[in-house]
Amino acid sequence: MALRSLFKGLNSFQKTALVTLGVTFLLIFIGGLVRATGAGLGCPDWPKCFGLWIPPTNVADLPEAYDPEQFNAFKTWMEYVNRLVGVLVGFLILLTFALSTRYLWRAPLVFLGAAVALLLVLFQGWLGGQVVRSGLQSGMITIHMVVAVLILNVLVWTWFQSVKDRVRYSFGGKSRRNLAAILVVLLIVVITQVVFGSQVREALEMVKTAYPGLDRSLWIDRVGSIDMIHRSFSWLVLASVLLFQYQALKAGGGTPLPFLAGLTTAATVLQILLGASLVYLGIPPAAQVFHLWIAAFMTAVPFFALLIVLRSRAGLSSGV
C-alpha cells in the first residue's frame, strides 16, 4: 500500500507523535463514553474528585462536605479515568514537544505544531474544569469537543510535517486542484456537522435535566430544530464524501487517496446508520459513543488526505 513508506523507519519523535495521536483518539472515545453514560458530573469538583486526588469507591468513604446523593461509583470512576487519560495525553504532548526541538532549525513547522498542540492541551485542561464548574452549561460541551478535534488534527499536521519529505506522489494539475478543493469543502462540511452534533448532545442533556422522569426514547422529540438540521446536513456530508471518493479513484492508483476515500465513505455510511439508531432505537448509549468517535475520525482522515495532496507534485500520477 502506498501509505507504508510514510510509516517505515520512524525516529523517536515520529513514533512518539503517533502514539500521542492514538491516545488522543482514545481520549475522545472515553469522553464520548462519559457523555453517553451521564458521567460528566461524576466528579463535582476539579481538579480533585470529591475533594480527593483518588476518588472513593463507596459512599462510606465520601468526605463529610459532600452530599452522598451526588455520589455514584460508576460515574465517578468513569469521569476519573477520563481525567487520567487526559493527563496522559498532556504528558505525551509535552514529550512530543520536547522531542520536536530537534526540528527547531531544519523543520521549524514541526516544532511549531508541537508547541501549538501543547498550548491547546493546556487550554483543554482548563476548559475541562470550566465545563465541570458550569454544570455542563450549554455551549461548553461544544467548545470542549471542537478543541479536542482541533488537538487531534494539529497532531496529524505536526506528524505529517516530520515525514512530508517522503511524499513522492504526483497528480495531474487539474486533478490536484479538484482534490484539494473537494477536501477543503469536505472538511468544512464535516466540522460544521460535528458542531451541530455537539449542539444536539447539549440539547439532550437539557431535556434529561428538565424532564428527569421522561423515557430515554422520547428525548429526541424534545430536542428541537437543531436535530432536524443535523439530520438533514448528513446528506450534504455524504454527497461531499462521495465526490471525494469519485475524484480519488479518478486520480489513479499508486497513491493512498483511494484507500483514504474508502475509509471516509465507510465511516460516513456507518455514521448515518448510527444516527438512525439514535433516532429510532431510543438513543442507545453505545451508538452515542461511536457516533462521536467516528465524527473525530472523519475530520482527521480527509485532513491527512488534504496534506498529501498539497504536498504532492503536479504531473502524471505515480506512487512513492
pLDDT digits (tens, 9 = 90+) for 154-176: 999 999 999 988 887 777 668 88
Residue 141 forms part of a structural domain? yes
DSSP output for 203-224:
HHHHHHHH-TTS-GGGGGGGS-
| Shared domain check, 213 and 121 | no
* 197 pLDDT above the threshold of 80: yes
Domain that holds residue 278: 168-320
The answer to whether 175 touches 251, Cβ cutoff 8 Å, is yes
| Shared domain check, 187 and 155 | no
Res 218: pLDDT: 78
152/214 Cα distance (integer angstroms): 36
205/305 Cα distance (integer angstroms): 35
Residue 79's nearest CA partner among 49, 122, 118, 116 is 49
The answer to whether 247 touches 179, Cβ cutoff 8 Å, is yes
Section 214-234 average pLDDT: 84
Res 133: pLDDT: 67
Q: What is the domain count for the chain?
A: 2
| Shared domain check, 173 and 155 | no
Chain CA centroid to CA 269, Å: 18
In a 3-state reduction of DSSP, which class is residue 67?
A: coil
pTM reported for the whole predicted model: 0.87
Residue 86's nearest CA partner among 119, 121, 110, 137 is 121
| Shared domain check, 175 and 268 | yes
Q: Which three cell numbers stand for residue 245?
A: 471518493
Res 138: pLDDT: 62
With pLDDT > 70 as the criterion, what percentage of the chain qualifies?
A: 93
The answer to whether 157 touches 117, Cβ cutoff 8 Å, is no
Classify burial at 215, counting beta carbons within 10 Å of its beta carbon; exposed 0-12, middle 13-18, buried 19 or more: exposed
Residue 311 forms part of a structural domain? yes
Q: How confident is the model at residue 152 (pLDDT cuts 50, 70, 90)?
A: very high
Residue 210 forms part of a structural domain? yes
| Shared domain check, 109 and 35 | yes
In terms of pLDDT, which residue wins out, 137 or 16?
Answer: 16
Of 126, 150, 166, the position where a domain reaches its end is 166
With pLDDT > 90 as the criterion, what percentage of the chain qualifies?
A: 36
Residue 50 forms part of a structural domain? yes
Q: Is 254 left (phi over 0), alpha (psi -120 to 50) or beta?
A: left
Q: How confident is the model at residue 108 (pLDDT cuts 50, 70, 90)?
A: very high
Residue 5 forms part of a structural domain? no
Res 137: pLDDT: 62
| Shared domain check, 64 and 40 | yes
292/280 Cα distance (integer angstroms): 18
**What's the mean pLDDT when you consider all of the chain?**
85
* 318 pLDDT above the threshold of 50: no
Span of 101-105, 107-111, 251-255 with lowest mean pLDDT: 251-255
Section 217-238 average pLDDT: 86
| Shared domain check, 103 and 245 | no
Residue 243's nearest CA partner among 186, 194, 169 is 186
69/15 Cα distance (integer angstroms): 45
In a 3-state reduction of DSSP, which class is residue 54?
A: coil
Of 166, 187, 215, the position where a domain reaches its end is 166
| Shared domain check, 182 and 158 | no
Q: How confident is the model at residue 12 (pLDDT cuts 50, 70, 90)?
A: very high
Residue 2 forms part of a structural domain? no
List beta partners, residue 52. Answer: 49
Res 135: pLDDT: 60
Q: Is 86 left (phi over 0), alpha (psi -120 to 50) or beta?
A: alpha
| Shared domain check, 296 and 175 | yes
List beta partners, residue 156. Answer: none
Section 37-51 average pLDDT: 79
Residue 314 forms part of a structural domain? yes
Of 119, 143, 166, the position where a domain reaches its end is 166
| Shared domain check, 175 and 66 | no
Section 68-75 average pLDDT: 83
Q: Is 172 left (phi over 0), alpha (psi -120 to 50) or beta?
A: beta
Res 320: pLDDT: 38
Hey, which of 77-86, 127-136, 182-191, 246-255 has the most confident mean pLDDT?
Answer: 182-191
What does the CA dihedral 278, 293, 295, 243 come to, rounded to 10 degrees?
-100
In terms of pLDDT, which residue wins out, 52 or 245?
Answer: 245
Residue 246 forms part of a structural domain? yes
In terms of pLDDT, which residue wins out, 99 or 131?
Answer: 99
| Shared domain check, 145 and 235 | no
DSSP output for 182-203:
HHHHHHHHHHHHHHHHHHHHHH
| Shared domain check, 177 and 69 | no
Hey, which of 167-181, 184-198, 204-218, 273-287 has the most confident mean pLDDT?
Answer: 184-198
Res 319: pLDDT: 41
